[in-house]
Structure 1
Amino acid sequence: MTVWDRPEPPARPVPLDRERIVAAAVALADEGGLAEVSLRKVAARLNAGPMRLYGFLATKEELFDLMVDEVKAEILPGAEEPPGDWREALRGIAHRTRRTALRHPWLADLLGGRPALGPNGLAVTEATLAALDGLADADTVLRATETVSAYTTGAIRREIAGLRAERDTGLTDREWQRASGSHVTRLLATGRFPALARFVHEAAEVDAETSFTTGLEWVLDAVAARLGEQPG
């Protein structure tokens, strides 16, 4: 039985329900990351005894599942958004996933892995598959959505890791590059890294959103090419 199937216990003596528990856990994670989330700390924030939470949750992993599902509501397309083609639908899901992870950086640590079974997670999966449904056979659609998801997750994790490094060191990327510039210059001068030297000197520097968008469009191009190979 999943956490979503399990009935909730009576809300007494302190009014308590899964919605309040998850909201408190998300707030703790937003403030300090997943390391700050424990049943004890969540209970303290709710002025309840830690044992009370075990009536709603069996493990901390269940709490993480509920937290992920809570914020996945932010990835769903809004009712006011007009329907578009498959490419626009997948693009929208990817960009909303990135924006959600930037608001809740801990989400990057929990993306991927086993399928999300909560109502919002299932709704995101439904919207993703529905975008390509009917355009190819089931296996091709699954591989296509997995590919887009793998790119999205990897790019988000890399960006979040960079933001954490900036927070931990107190240096922006540009400041870090200046601080390490003499070391890199010496290494490139040895001639041992000619390809790296060319890209360091010639490649344009772009911001994280531009990098994410460019890579996503290339992945969508690849999906479009694969769909074009399907028999009509």
Structure 2
Amino acid sequence: MVVRKDGDSDSTLVWARPEPPDRPAPAPLSRDRIVRAAIELADRDGLDAVSLRKVAAMLDAGPMRLYRYLSTKEELLDLMVDAVYGEIPRPDPADGDWRTALRSFAHGMRQAALRHEWFADLLGRRPHLGPEALANLEASLAALDGALGTGDIDSVIQARDAVNAYVIGALRSEITERRTERATGLDEHQWQVASSSYLNQVLATGRYPTLARVVSDAGDRDAQAKFDTGLDYLLDGIAARLGV
């Protein structure tokens, strides 16, 4: 529960609290301007760089002014996440093609995370209850619900949760690899070359025959191809399980 400065306690989530009236002097503020500045800061310097003080400085405002629009940094992070959800095209469940709808959702999430790497860090931490996040959730649930046509809402939720879990895991893995490349200056191929001597020694022991086949025979795939292949495996499994 947040205790407001006027002494009244208020547990209302930020989405349900009205925004205070605009005060153009000394610098105009709004939740949207605050969120956009925070996103710019996170895109440039990473999530750890985001603070109410730094965001206020970007907007030429005192930090205390920001507390009229939000109460905590966690609320700011919630608003940032929802703004990114707003960039994700929502599938139309009315066409009845649940696979296309869920694939569109997954691709939209991936593209959003590639634009805003910090977005992947905040996925799965707690439920996202902003209007844009809920609209995306509604669209994906409706697409599955329409395809099943059985009223089995538990199956709808579990299938959608499985897709969401795959997307979050795949995105975090891809973003981690991108960050590692930047930190080390080595892309995946360069890292493989640098580690090949050690790996060849390990494989020569014969203790890892299947891994040896992977190293020698598996084809190279880019991040998009790996993401799509894994997603197709999952969607095929959902189709087989639910008979759709």
Matched, 1:66 2:102: no
CA contact (8 A) 1:188 1:197 kept: yes
- In the TM superposition, 1:163-174 aligns within 5 A as 163-174=178-189
Aligned residue among 106, 109, 118 for 1:106: 118
The yes-or-no answer on 1:91 pairing with 2:106 is no
Correspondence for 1:3:
14
Distance 1:133 1:40 in 2: 45
Which residue matches 1:158? Answer: 173
Is residue 115 of structure 1 aligned with residue 130 of structure 2?
Answer: no
One-letter code aligned to 1:100: A
TM-score (norm 2): 0.89
Relative to the length of structure 1, the TM-score reads 0.94
**Structural mapping, 1:196-215, within 5 Å:** 196-215=211-230
What code does the residue aligned with 1:5 have? A
- Cα distance, 1:82 vs. partner? 8.9
RMSD, matched Cα: 1.7
> Is the 8 Å Cα contact of residues 91 and 105 (structure 2) preserved in structure 1?
no
- Tell me, in whole angstroms, the C-alpha distance in 2 between the residues paired with 1:113 and 1:88: 27
- SS of 1:116's equivalent in the other structure is coil
Identity %: 59
> Is it true that 1:33 corresponds to 2:46 in the alignment?
yes
Q: Does the residue aligned with 1:133 lie in a helix, a strand or coil? A: helix
Q: Secondary structure at the match of 2:16?
A: coil
For residue 131 of structure 1, the aligned residue among 110, 135, 143 is: 143
5+ residue gaps, structure 2, are: 1-11
Please list every run of 5 or more consecutive structure 1 residues that lacks an aligned counterpart in the other structure: none
Which residue of 147, 156, 160 corresponds with 1:141? 156
1:18 aligns with 2:31: yes
Runs of 4+ displaced beyond 3 Å: 81-84
Q: Give the whole-Å Cα distance in 1 for the aligned partners of 2:96 and 2:49.
A: 40
What count of residue pairs does the alignment treat as equivalent?
Answer: 228
| Native 8 Å contact 1:29 1:106 kept in 2 | yes
1:168 aligned partner, one-letter code: A
Looking at structure 2, the residues matched to 204 and 61 of structure 1 have their Cα atoms a distance apart, in angstroms, of 43
Give the partner amino acid of 1:109.
Answer: D
Match for 1:110: what amino acid?
Answer: L
